Amino acid sequence: MILYYDVCAFIILILIIMSCVLKKMFHGRNNGLFYLMMLVIMLSTIADFGAGYMKDYGVRSDINHTVTYMWHYIYFFTHNLILPSYLPFIYSNIGMWHEFEKNKKVRAIWYASMIINTAGLVVNMFYPFIFYVDEKLQYYRMRGILMFYINAGLFMLFEIAVILKYRSIIRKDKFIVMLLLYPIIMIGIVVQAFMPDHLVEMFMISVALLLFSLIIRREEEMTDPMTGARSYNVAHEHIRNVLATGTPVYILLIKMVNFKNIRLYLGQQLLSTFLREQSSKFGAFARYNSLEEDIYYLEDGLFAVISETMDGEAVKKLAVQIKNYYSDTLDVEGFTVMINSRLCILRCPEDIDNYNTLYSFCISFERILPDTKDVMFYPDYVDNREFRIKSELDEIIDRAISYKSFELFYQPIYSILEKRFVAAEALIRIRDEIYGLISPGMFIEAAEISGAIHAIGDFVLEDVCRFISENDFDELGLKCIEINMSTSQCIEMNLVEKVAFLLKKYKLDASRLNLEITESAVDFDPDVVDQNITRLHEMGINFALDDYGTGYSNVKRVTTLPVEIVKLDKSFVDGVDDPKMWIMVQDTVKMLKEMGRKVLVEGVEEEKVVHKFTELGADYIQGCEYLQGYYFCRPLPEKDFLEFMKMQVK
> Can you spell out the DSSP letters for 373-417?
SSPEEGGGTTT-HHHHHHHTHHHHHHHHHHHT-EEEEEEEEEETT
Name residue 566's amino acid: V
- 487 lies in the binding site for Mg ion (CB under 5 A): no
- Tell me the closest approach of the beta carbon of residue 567 to Mg ion, in angstroms: 5
Quick one: which of 201, 366, 519, 546 contacts ligand C2E (CB under 6 A)?
546
Q: Which stretches within 486-554 are classed as H helix? A: 487-490, 495-505, 519-524, 526-539
Burial readout 507-540 (b: 16 or more C-beta within 10 A, e: otherwise): ebebebbbbbbbbebbeeeeeebbebbeebbeee
Interacting residues with Mg ion between 527 and 546 (CB under 5 A): 546
227 binds Mg ion (CB under 5 A): no
8 Å CB contact between 595 and 558: yes
451 lines the binding site for ligand C2E (CB under 6 A): no
Q: Cα dihedral sign for 433, 439, 444, 445?
A: negative
Cβ 565 to ligand C2E shortest distance, Å: 12
CB 254 within 8 A of CB 235: no
By 3-state DSSP, what share of the chain in percent is helix, strand and coil, each rounded to 5? 60, 15, 25
Among 234, 250, 342, 248, smallest CA distance to 297 is for 234
- Which residues, 6+ apart, have CB-to-CB distance to 247 below 8 Å? 95, 96, 97, 98, 99, 241, 308
Q: How far apart are CA 67 and CA 54, in angstroms?
A: 8
Q: Which is nearer to ligand C2E, 41 or 490 (CB)?
A: 490
Per rule CB under 5 A, is residue 519 in the interface with Mg ion? no
- The answer to whether 300 touches 275, Cβ cutoff 8 Å, is no
Instruction: Work out how close the CB of 440 gets to ligand C2E at its nearest, in angstroms, rounded to a whole number.
Output: 3
Q: Closer CB to ligand C2E, residue 276 or residue 570?
A: 570
427 binds ligand C2E (CB under 6 A): yes
Q: Of 315 and 456, which has the nearer Cβ to ligand C2E?
A: 456
Residue number closest to ligand C2E, CB atom? 629
Binds ligand C2E (CB under 6 A): choice among 439, 520, 571, 614:
439
User: C-alpha angle with apex 437: 434 to 441, nearest 5 degrees?
Assistant: 115
Q: Among 630, 643, 646, 649, which residue sits at the site for ligand C2E (rule: CB under 6 A)?
A: 630
Site string for ligand C2E, 485-504 (x = CB under 6 A): -x------------------
- Residue placing its CB nearer to Mg ion in the complex, 463 or 602: 602
The verdict on 484 binding ligand C2E (CB under 6 A) reads yes
Task: For residues 350 and 248, give the distance between their C-alpha atoms in angstroms, rounded to a whole number.
Answer: 8
Complex with Mg ion: residue 484 or 532, whichever CB lies closer: 484
Residue 605 touches which of ligand C2E, Mg ion, none (Cβ within 5-8 Å per kind): ligand C2E
Residues numbered 576-615 forming contacts with ligand C2E, rule: CB under 6 A? 602-605
Question: With contact defined as beta carbons under 8 Å apart, do 511 and 541 qualify?
Answer: yes
Distance CA 266, CA 431 (A): 45
R_g over Cα of the chain: 37
In the shown chain, the binding pattern of residues 548 to 577 toward ligand C2E, with x for contact by CB under 6 A and - for none, equals ----------------------x-------
Binder to ligand C2E among 80, 231, 391, 411 (CB under 6 A)? 411
| Positions in 582-641 near Mg ion (CB under 5 A) | 602
Cβ–Cβ < 8 Å for 307, 315: yes
635 binds ligand C2E (CB under 6 A): yes
Q: Does 48 bind Mg ion (CB under 5 A)?
A: no
Please, what is the minimum distance in Å from the beta carbon of residue 581 to ligand C2E?
18
Nearer to ligand C2E, 224 or 547 (CB): 547
Binding mask 432-471 for Mg ion (x = CB under 5 A): ----------------------------------------
Q: Find the part of the chain contacting ligand C2E (CB under 6 A) among 264-272, 369-377, 493-501, 628-636.
A: 628-636
Q: What residues from 209 to 238 belong to the interface with ligand C2E (CB under 6 A)?
A: none
Could you give phi then psi for residue 293, rounded to 5 degrees? -110, 150
* Furthest C-alpha separation in the chain: 125
480: which DSSP letter? E
Q: How far apart are the first and last CA of the chain?
A: 115
Say whether residue 484 binds Mg ion (CB under 5 A). Answer: yes
| Smaller CB separation from ligand C2E, 441 or 451 | 441
- Give the footprint of ligand C2E on this chain (CB under 6 A): 411, 427-428, 439-441, 444, 460, 484, 486, 546-547, 570, 602-605, 629-630, 635
- Give the footprint of Mg ion on this chain (CB under 5 A): 484, 516, 546-547, 602
